[in-house]
Amino acid sequence: MYRALYRVWRPQRFDDLVGQQMITQTLKNAIMTHQTSHAYLFTGPRGTGKTSAAKIFAKAINCHHLVDGEPCNECATCKAITNGQLNDVIEIDAASNNGVEEIRDIRDKAKYAPTEADYKIYIIDEVHMLSTGAFNALLKTLEEPPANVIFILATTEPHKIPLTIISRTQRFDFRRISAKDSYDRMVYILQQKQVEFDEKALRVIAQAAEGGMRDALSILDQVISFGDNTVTLDDALMVTGSVTKKLIADYMEEVTQHVTKPALETMRQILQEGKDANRFIEDLISYTRDVLLYQQAPEMVDSVAMGENDQRFADFAKSIDAEVLYQMIKTLNDIQQQMRFTTHPDVYLEVLTVKLAQLEAPVSGAKPTAATAAVPDTAAVQQLTTKVDQLQAELQGLKANGVKAAPAKTARVKQNSNGPVIKKVNVSQVYPILGAATKDDLVQVREVWADLMNILSITQRALMHVAQPVAASDEGVVVAFDYPFLYQKAIDDQALMDALGNGLDRLMGHAPKLVCVPKEQWPQIRRDFLATHQPENSPAASQAPAKPAVVDQAEQLFGDLVEVKPD
């Protein structure tokens, strides 16, 4: 019976795990020095080696013939674990065994000593699927673990696991496997199988796998079957629905050179070859991202991402403005969302092509051509000069009549003429929070803020790294962002807002409303609130100067955040 490649070539030693060297070395050292924990949490995307690492760990800790922390894979214990026949290594799928009774059964049986091996190992896959009651039952076992019992929890969504569970485990984050590592592993496997292959085909498969080694081997399996035991570029493109790097490069150069008709023809050629429209969008996003990376750090982009013509890729990266690439990625993401439920992807791709061909670099960053530099618009310059002279004359006249010019008010909403519009803060949402804000509420939120960040995904955590709570009441929290454009990105990200609300609900027992503000606008928002909401009939207002009353109220609201400066 034929066995899939990812099963035949499943790692049996730590060194066989692709792209996780730091994790494997740490586990080997722990086993060799007898400093293993009673519970581990393996997190990361699918197909990155979490369950394989758990099984190798189970073999290594029970093997009596270790070599540098690696299992021998020859003794009876190692072979039994490899074949799934050792009673002391129990693998559980939490997706289908997520109830309280199943976990209680584990807890009861864990009390008994292992029968054949030195350690009893419980591997719970997709542990985030456990119910609340099941997590509580598991927590009791983790708090008071039996001797010679080790739990290994694996999940793709660690933010769904209670922090009380995470804090009682050693956590290892498995990273996405790079296209280069996937490519090298496939080359090794095909050489061992003595299968002929095209290197360009393996590059396509490595890109399509999106960081999962299991996905890469599954695609490779399909390509081998499709191509009658050979791996060719055409077969790889057919199976993955991908587009050749040459066509991607042609398309990108055409849209950035604003030649819409050739770009549309290239796009139609891609569709006529039967390529998947969604895969085409993914390929464009990936290519654009690689160009951006190459502009900032060329060493981070390997030849697998560049394609078959490295020099063409490098030349394109040097010629394109980064701001155009940012706009392209945003446009691609928008179209990708709109295409999710359509039955006419070709229409969206045509619209996309026209939009991309019309993108322009910002004026401030554009380099003037020889023609525009040599022929200035003298009429416009003369008109502006005349207007300036006229305004200066009017100002002198006002000063002569004793009228002082009022200082210009600072705009509440700063907007870069070439950048995105930053939405104005809705103070009607901020003021109710400030009206009930207390220092104790703010301290409570700050105490759980670090734990809240750990619940978020890596990208969400990176966005919230420049934000902090600045005011809080029992019903809401005001979060200030260091940069306006990140504030804008955060309020437009509903998934982030939901994750923050769910996290606070889990950590604090209730979900206060989150209101975001740019940090540069926060002082003015506070001043406006204090000026319009201080009690008019209070003794402090009638007997004392206005400013001390404002300061007193501010200190009640914001505590040690208030800084009083003399005029």
Which of 505, 507, 513, 515 has the alpha carbon at shortest distance from 475? 513
Taken in order 262, 263, 267, 268, the sign of the CA dihedral is: negative
The predicted pLDDT at position 124 comes to 92
Q: Which of 357, 372, 403 is the last residue of a domain?
A: 357
Mean pLDDT per 10-residue interval, the chain, length 567 residues: 82 89 91 90 90 93 89 91 89 83 86 88 91 87 86 90 90 88 90 87 84 88 84 83 77 89 88 80 86 80 56 83 87 84 82 87 49 45 67 68 49 44 76 88 89 84 86 91 85 86 84 89 87 55 46 59 56
Which tokens belong to 206?
């490595």
| Alpha-helix residue ranges (DSSP H) falling in 33-86 | 50-62, 76-82
Q: Is residue 500 part of a domain?
A: yes
The predicted pLDDT at position 367 comes to 45
Q: Are residues 102 and 116 in the same domain?
A: yes
What CATH code is carried by the domain that includes residue 79? Answer: 3.40.50.300
* Adjacent-strand bridge partners of 150: 121
390 burial (CB, 10 Å; 0-12 / 13-18 / 19+) is exposed
Residue 282 and residue 276: Cα distance in Å, rounded? Answer: 10
Q: Are residues 76 and 141 in the same domain?
A: yes
| Residues making up the chain, counted from first to last | 567
Q: Are residues 206 and 150 in the same domain?
A: no
The predicted pLDDT at position 41 comes to 94
What CATH code is carried by the domain that includes residue 532? Answer: 3.30.300.180
Q: Is residue 284 part of a domain?
A: yes
Domain of 219 in residue numbering reads as: 179-240
The predicted pLDDT at position 543 comes to 35
Q: Is residue 418 part of a domain?
A: no
Q: Are residues 136 and 193 in the same domain?
A: no
Which tokens belong to 22?
């730091």
Angle between helices 213-226 and 233-240 (to 10 degrees): 120
Q: Is residue 487 part of a domain?
A: yes
Q: Are residues 93 and 187 in the same domain?
A: no
Which tokens belong to 299?
């060493």
- How many independent structural domains does the chain possess? 4
Q: Is residue 382 part of a domain?
A: no
194 burial (CB, 10 Å; 0-12 / 13-18 / 19+) is exposed
Which tokens belong to 33?
């020095």
Residue 271: other Cβ atoms inside 10 A: 16
Q: Is residue 435 part of a domain?
A: yes
Q: Are residues 196 and 266 in the same domain?
A: no
Q: Are residues 119 and 35 in the same domain?
A: yes
Identify whether the C-beta of residue 243 lies closer than 8 Å to the C-beta of residue 280: yes
What CATH code is carried by the domain that includes residue 208? Answer: 1.10.8.60
Which of 565, 472, 481 has the alpha carbon at shortest distance from 518? 481
Q: Are residues 152 and 231 in the same domain?
A: no
Q: Are residues 165 and 289 in the same domain?
A: no
Taken in order 217, 219, 222, 226, the sign of the CA dihedral is: negative
Q: Which of 211, 240, 269 is the last residue of a domain?
A: 240
Taken in order 251, 257, 258, 261, the sign of the CA dihedral is: negative
Q: Are residues 333 and 318 in the same domain?
A: yes
Q: Are residues 434 and 508 in the same domain?
A: yes
Helix (H) or strand (E) holding 68: none
Residues 540, 544, 546, 549: what is their CA dihedral angle, to the nearest 10 degrees? -40
What CATH code is carried by the domain that includes residue 308? Answer: 1.20.272.10
The predicted pLDDT at position 43 comes to 92
The predicted pLDDT at position 152 comes to 94
Q: Which of 196, 212, 240 is the last residue of a domain?
A: 240
Helix (H) or strand (E) holding 294: helix 277-296
Q: Are residues 34 and 74 in the same domain?
A: yes
